[in-house]
Amino acid sequence: MIQGAGSNVGKSLLVAGLCRHFTRQGLTVRPFKPQNMSNNAAVAVGGEIGRAQALQARACGVRPHVDMNPVLLKPESETGAQVIVQGRRLTTVKARDYAALKPQLMAPVLDSFNRLQAEADLVIVEGAGSPAEVNLRAGDIANMGFARAADVPVVLAGDIDRGGVIAQLVGTQAVLDPADAAMIRGFLINKFRGDPRLFDDGYRLIETRTGWPGLGVVPWFPDAHRLPAEDAADLGGTRGSGDFLIAVPHLNRIANFDDLDPLAQEPGVTLRIVSPGQPLPVEADLIILPGSKATIADLTHFRSQGWDIDLAAALRRGARVLGLCGGYQMLGHEIADPEGIEGKPACVAGLGLLDVTTTMTPDKRVTETAAVHPASGTEVRGYEIHLGRTEGPDRARPMFTVQGQPEGAMRADGRVMGSYLHGMFSADAFRRAFLGSLGAVPGGGSYDQNVAETLDALADHLAAHLDCAALLRLAGSR
């Protein structure tokens, strides 16, 4: 089990790279994360899981399965989250009430873990946050609570890039219960910039102070941005330097934002994530309203930033607009939530750019979807994760067809479009045709091949700098 001395130390990529490395060694490998918190979800066999575990499954060469992430928390507000257990929605709870629910979740967590163990030579587990958050230890299923319940040895990862890595690791040992600390069998240092030998003295100091053996110092992996990110904190700024500008507002509850990754890797494209407080660029060629875990709340946030005014100005200047999932719902005339799925029952005006309306319903659509883009004749394999039904006259001009039925909608002039289909831009032929139809100069690369090659490079990187043989011995020692 890879746990972190803090959040965002690189656990997800460490696990993905190790999954790839040991799979290439001929082992049957499975990823596992007992509890994840993310609105960047993926469709898996049995329901939905965190996007990071889907990438790790890809590194193992297998389809993602709900057992790989049995508890997924999807924040819907600052204080509450939807609880997904083994792929299906269980309930929505306030943060203060989740502690009472956690003890009930250890049984399905262990149930999923045991099934993975039975089919694999090696299971690589990812922790969540940090075990140093000892205030959350009671009922824990994400870090030491799981490690002790399943008797899984732990390797603690520290992030040297943010500074204070010696204190991260030594301090974690200091605050842990001795029985929890005893689960840690080694440490590693991640994200080192420069010559790793410069940290030799610090490395030995950590070994001396903790008694844990060091398993390696991993230099910064510069191609990490070429793999799907899970944390919205990793979004921001501008990617690429092409002439075709795509702007995306950073919504408070932005979801499934890996939809954007294939666009960011197009050489003719500049992808700009617009942070709150900044205007949407009226010179944008395409503005994408991304998915959202709380559509009505994010629509209010969108308007509070003045982005609705910026969007109208960009349209007048010739921009195109694409809404994805929650963004698609925002583009219609109205969003009705009579049952209070997203909070209190409400009916709010949309942006009025598509002649459709949306009604929120409790039944959640979670499915892989094969579609055809009628305008180009290209095929797309994506997925849907959404609440609500969208209907209206602009559905007569769908973006896609699914088994002959319309999916999405388009305004009569073709300048505003919407779709529930996530992952559409991963389809190379569609992406090239779509960008070309808008005047961009698309590249000829394969997104899937790029991800595969980056996973291979990550595996090589870790194998060169970590004692992978020692990690394997640890896994076999339980």
Q: From the DSSP assignment, how many helices (H) and strands (E) are in the chain?
A: 14, 27
Give the residue carrying structure tokens 């960011």: 264
At 87, the amino acid letter reads: G
For residue 83, give Cα distances in angstroms to 39, 76, 194.
11, 10, 41
Bridge-based pairing state of the strands 254-255 and 214-219? unpaired
What residues contact residue 286 under an 8 Å CB cut-off, 6+ apart?
Answer: 244, 245, 246, 247, 319, 320, 321, 322, 438
**Residue 289 token pair:** 């309203």
Which residues fall within 8 angstroms of residue 166, CB to CB, at 6 or more apart?
A: 202, 205, 206
Of the residues 301, 325, 373, 386, which is catalytic? 325
Strands 122-125 and 88-94: unpaired
Q: Are 379 and 354 in contact, with CB atoms under 8 Å apart?
A: no
Distance CA 219, CA 191 (A): 5
Contact 129, 143 (CB under 8 A): yes
Measure the CA–CA gap between 58 and 213, rounded to whole angstroms.
30
Classify strands 416-419 and 409-410 as parallel, antiparallel or unpaired.
Answer: antiparallel
Q: What is d(CA 8, CA 50) in angstroms, rounded to the nearest whole number?
A: 15
What letter represents residue 222's amino acid? P
19 classed as catalytic: no
Kind plus residue range of the DSSP H or E element containing 14: helix 11-24
| Residues contacting 81, CB < 8 A, separation 6+ | 37, 73, 74, 75, 92, 93, 95, 98
On the 0-12 / 13-18 / 19+ scale of CB atoms within 10 A, 115 is: middle
Tokens of 436: 């070309």
CB 296 within 8 A of CB 346: yes
422 has catalytic annotation = yes
Catalytic residue among 422, 461, 465, 468: 422
Q: Is 194 left (phi over 0), alpha (psi -120 to 50) or beta?
A: left
Whether 333 contacts 392, CB under 8 Å:
yes
**Which residue in 408, 392, 219, 245 sits closest to 327, CA to CA?**
408
> Buried (b) or exposed (e) across 362-389, using 16+ Cβ within 10 A?
eebebeebebbbeeeebebebbbbbbbe
Residue numbers annotated as active site: 325, 422
